[in-house]
Structure 1
């Protein structure tokens, strides 16, 4: 029976304590599962499981909220994912319906952001990976959350924070092509289709993710407004939402997982084979790709001995990659020298094209920066800037000798840029592998957040 005043309800098998939060239909309490002394041996401690219990008052429910609650229970009972809060059980009595949930000691993401003002980009990226992983899993099950916001994203703890997507009260079974028109969610995080009361589909979740990311990086949502009308005006846009799950910044492919080590090992096997065949360029590229998976494998591994073994292998492969880098770099410099006469001819033919000449000068600056050594990122930036211009100019260049020379030069510069990109990534992966402490990624997240 529900208690009066501040007292929490009573539920058989549990002791409800502090209130964690409340909404229109529900109040969430921290609770302990009652221990059964008869099941404990004399030397065992009375370790009671901590849970969160969402109490929904029956009298507050209308037809729509009953349907939402039943959908929430149905969805959560059928899914298990490391970044989705777990529904352990549900019960009811004459006054309330109780959802017994996994307890997340770190509170919600909104509080986490606001107590630190903003999050470092590296921390925000880790959180986005975890959120993307949960959302991708849901969308594969044709489930849309439809109320994504920082208040509905919980943290497993403050010491080693992992995101847990929660509150599926507005969630729906939707295939990517299903369209709805019912208004759901929180206005600040709603996609334009919902705010403007048009038909929408599962992609509205991705708009909400973008707003959450903005808030994590800048401390407040991008469309804060004094009224719903003002909000609607601010977020009207015809821009198409990008392919979030495949975006290189999210980089879901390299998220730490149980598959990371196997994928790294597979790439190393290929690298060794190419190395033995004498194909230094291909071997170097494969070693670099392997490192992209070895680092998340180190983050994922919790056993200290296995982690040390992986680190030793990484150092071995990095050493070989450095040797191959010297071989490939020497070969590339020779090729650049061989192409010098064709490059000089192209510059001569570009005298009447100031824009083309300027782009070629940037490419020359990139080569000079690369020759100096130690400035790989600066050289890469110059190569990419030059290529951005040259590719546009190549598209509009009429057939002839100048187009042939320009095409060859673009191919050479793209090869240099790709090579440097791999070197930059290899250096970053090596640094991260060397500085990874025993507590792994969670400790890195904690340290970064503590500084805010």
Structure 2
């Protein structure tokens, strides 16, 4: 597998490398097509052997080791890796939608509802990694790719196997998304990924990172400052969203939200994220709702219909919902009115009962006042 000059894409026996998608210190990424009938589209990360030092070689080996074992819908898949005298090639899954950074820039800011769906997918990938003691350590919008409306974490060049008690001191990642303890104390653990998620969430909602600066000196000054992160003046976000943002962007890692708290936070709401299982959960709940409905238990039926719809709505984003959902929405609305009517009727009946009792009390009092005294 000989390579040509640095101006032309390298040549691989099984792939035709075409346009250059981007490049960094050690690697250049190309769009490529598999030779043969399939014409499968892939991304090929080309790492020049001459550019590698001891540390970057270790990083590359760890990246390959992690991606070889990881299979997840929200993590870019490593399909194969090859090498020749000059380069190492990582054959990666192709994501046609570009990266999250371009997506945010093209729209300036993202609605909270869209941001939440994206955050759920990032959280899903992070939960998978966290269970395997893997830290990404370079989370930023440029390293999150889009395939349709599906997000996928990419570029595991700085990723490490880190137990919760492991600490590192090597500076990794991009300063704009780097946790303060990484920059200031040079000692950090897996919680730095949560800070980075906070910065990504902030940027998606407000169009800029919380430490946006005109120079590196200004950026470093902001990072080293003890001032708590504040949301932009007039920021319109929900209470849950605000709470999560400020807890992710807590400078002190010991006071920052934990992974367990993050995964169960009401704004992340992983229970209702769009997945293939959404429709299964929804159907199970709707069957229970129909049964309660038939038994005349309106309040229980309404509650179950509402719970089912909380799973049906995400299922729409997975394109798995079906027309019957409208019927369930309609029935839930009818039940809502009926339950409200039942409650109103109960209230009216209770009020009537109280009036009758009050009437009796009044009559009894009058009787006491008008009854003749004993001689």
Identify whether the pair has TM-score above 0.5, normalized to the shorter chain.
Answer: yes
Q: Are the equivalent residues in 1 in contact too, given 2:274–2:318 (CA < 8 A)?
A: yes
Higher RCO (C-alpha 8 Å, min separation 6): 1
For residues 144 and 335 of structure 1, what CA distance do their matches in structure 2 show?
57
Count of residue pairs the alignment pairs up: 321
**Match in the other structure for 2:235:** none
1:161–1:299 distance in 2 versus 1, CA, 3 Å: closer
| Equivalent residue in structure 1 for 2:50, among 59, 84, 92 | 59
1:275 aligns with 2:293: yes
| Equivalent residue in structure 1 for 2:68, among 67, 74, 77 | 77
- Name stretches of at least 5 consecutive residues in structure 2 with no aligned partner: 228-250, 352-375
Q: For structure 1, which segment, 86-95 or 177-186, has the greater mean C-alpha deviation from structure 2 after superposition? A: 177-186
**Match in the other structure for 1:213:** 201
For residues 266 and 180 of structure 2, what CA distance do their matches in structure 1 show?
25
In the TM superposition, residue 319 of structure 1 has moved relative to its aligned partner by 3.3
For residues 337 and 206 of structure 2, what CA distance do their matches in structure 1 show?
42
Q: Structure 1 segments of 4 or more deviating over 4 A? A: 334-340
Give the RMSD, CA atoms, in angstroms: 2.4
**Match in the other structure for 2:323:** 311
1:8–1:248 distance in 2 versus 1, CA, 3 Å: same
**Match in the other structure for 1:32:** 33
Q: Are the equivalent residues in 2 in contact too, given 1:83–1:133 (CA < 8 A)?
A: yes
> What's the TM-score once normalised by structure 1's chain length?
0.66
| Equivalent residue in structure 2 for 1:195, among 179, 183, 192 | 183
For residues 32 and 248 of structure 1, what CA distance do their matches in structure 2 show?
42
> What's the TM-score once normalised by structure 2's chain length?
0.79
| Equivalent residue in structure 2 for 1:300, among 318, 327, 334 | 318
1:14 aligns with 2:32: no
1:179 aligns with 2:167: yes
Q: Are the equivalent residues in 2 in contact too, given 1:108–1:154 (CA < 8 A)?
A: yes
Q: Are the equivalent residues in 1 in contact too, given 2:15–2:32 (CA < 8 A)?
A: yes
For residues 330 and 119 of structure 2, what CA distance do their matches in structure 1 show?
32
For residues 113 and 322 of structure 1, what CA distance do their matches in structure 2 show?
36
Give the 3-state SS of the residue equivalent to 2:323 in structure 1.
helix
Q: For structure 1, which segment, 20-29 or 111-120, has the greater mean C-alpha deviation from structure 2 after superposition? A: 111-120
**Match in the other structure for 2:152:** 164
Q: Which protein shows a greater Rg?
A: 2
Q: Are the equivalent residues in 2 in contact too, given 1:188–1:231 (CA < 8 A)?
A: no
- Name stretches of at least 5 consecutive residues in structure 1 with no aligned partner: 36-45, 341-452
Q: Are the equivalent residues in 2 in contact too, given 1:130–1:163 (CA < 8 A)?
A: yes
Q: Are the equivalent residues in 1 in contact too, given 2:180–2:224 (CA < 8 A)?
A: no
| Equivalent residue in structure 1 for 2:307, among 283, 286, 289 | 289
**Match in the other structure for 2:242:** none
As a proportion of its length, which structure holds more helix? Answer: 1
**Match in the other structure for 1:246:** 264
| Equivalent residue in structure 1 for 2:273, among 246, 255, 258 | 255
Please list the CA deviations of residues 173-225 of structure 1 after superposition, one character each: whole Å capped at 9, or x if unmatched. 12334333332211111122212225332222111111011111222111123
